[in-house]
């Protein structure tokens, strides 16, 4: 049977287009040689987070203070996780990649994001026993069709040869969108939202766990996850995101 193109699933249609058309920059659609890549101006337009960064928050330092240095913000209000890294600052340039994966279902954006995260999080990946995506609530997962953090966790697992699991950390209740909420409102919103799946506490105990998400805004969601993992006996919890929002109050995702 011949299926008309307009009835094919969008992903299959896109896969077909990838074969017959040259690769396009994920930022601006100009032709590029490599699939799942950015043109030179779009790449240069990203604010890459390279060392030196705060070991606990992953935020950039103006100058190198040596390995393991912590920022004043980390010392004043330490997060629930032990170490965090992000590949880029969340801005108009990186937002395009985040939205391409999250809302436009463009997996090639996720391939690039995961490659960049592997580089930014190489120290964290080296000590991780297992990679866990920040979970979505079932209803939201169904509506959005797939969980972008699980997609990134799976890619990171493949690139780093670390195990990943989506059945350990669960979101047990629906939370309202974090958009527009400040840090204390976000913390309240996600409190008690995450649980370890039944019978999985023994799996977590003593392990070095890496949490993965696409964007870290205030960190409230990741902190709620880290808290649950630490309570279950995780030895260490690290957080690797693609992007990091430097001043959460000013940016709406």
* Smallest gap from residue 76 Cβ to Zn ion (A): 39
In terms of CB distance, is 26 or 130 closer to Zn ion? 26
Residue from 36, 37, 39, 109 touching Zn ion (CB under 5 A): that is 39
Exactly one of 18, 28, 45, 159 binds Zn ion (CB under 5 A); that residue is 28
Contact flag: residue 212 with Zn ion (CB under 5 A): no
Between 56 and 97, CB nearer to Zn ion: 97
Instruction: For Cα atoms 244, 245, 249, give the angle at the middle one, nearest 5 degrees.
Output: 160
25 near Zn ion, rule: CB under 5 A: yes
Shortest CB 24 distance to Zn ion, Å: 8
Judged by beta carbon, residue 39 or residue 220, the one nearer Zn ion is: 39
Please provide residue 88's backbone torsions phi and psi, each rounded to the nearest 5 degrees: -145, 165
Which residues pair with residue 83 across a beta bridge? 238
Q: Would you count residue 95 as binding Zn ion (CB under 5 A)?
A: no
Least distance in Å: CB of 242 to Zn ion? Answer: 17
**Binding string, residues 96-125; x marks residues near Zn ion by CB under 5 A:** ------------------------------
Q: How far is the CB of 94 from Zn ion (least distance, A)?
A: 13
Q: Is 183 in the site for Zn ion (CB under 5 A)?
A: no
For residues 25 and 89, which CB has a smaller minimum distance to Zn ion in the complex? Answer: 25
Instruction: Pick between residue 39 and residue 131 the one whose CB is nearest to Zn ion.
Output: 39
Between 25 and 97, whose beta carbon lies closer to Zn ion?
25
What residues make contact with Zn ion under the rule CB under 5 A?
25, 27-28, 39, 42
């Amino acid at each position: 049977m011949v299926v008309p193109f307009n009835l094919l699933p969008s992903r299959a249609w896109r896969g077909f287009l990838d074969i017959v058309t040259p690769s396009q920059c994920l930022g601006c659609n100009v032709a590029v040689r490599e699939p799942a890549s950015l043109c030179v101006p779009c790449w240069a337009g990203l604010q890459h987070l390279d060392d030196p960064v705060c070991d606990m928050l992953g935020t950039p330092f103006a100058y190198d203070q040596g390995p393991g240095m912590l920022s004043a913000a980390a010392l004043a209000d330490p997060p629930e996780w032990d170490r965090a890294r992000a590949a880029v600052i969340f801005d108009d340039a990186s937002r395009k990649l985040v939205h391409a994966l999250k809302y436009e279902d463009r997996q090639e954006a996720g391939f690039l994001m995961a490659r960049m995260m592997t580089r930014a999080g190489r120290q964290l990946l080296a000590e991780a026993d297992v990679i866990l995506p920040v979970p979505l609530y079932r209803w939201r997962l169904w509506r959005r069709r797939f969980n972008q953090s699980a997609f990134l966790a799976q890619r990171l697992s493949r690139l780093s040869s670390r195990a990943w699991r989506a059945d350990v950390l669960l979101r047990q209740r629906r939370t309202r969108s974090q958009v527009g909420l400040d840090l204390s409102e976000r913390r309240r919103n996600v409190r008690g939202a995450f649980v370890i799946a039944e019978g999985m506490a023994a799996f977590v105990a003593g392990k070095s766990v890496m949490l993965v998400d696409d964007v870290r805004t205030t960190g409230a969601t990741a902190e709620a996850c880290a808290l649950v993992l630490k309570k279950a006996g995780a030895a260490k919890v690290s957080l690797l995101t693609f992007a990091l929002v430097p001043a959460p109050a000013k940016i709406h995702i």
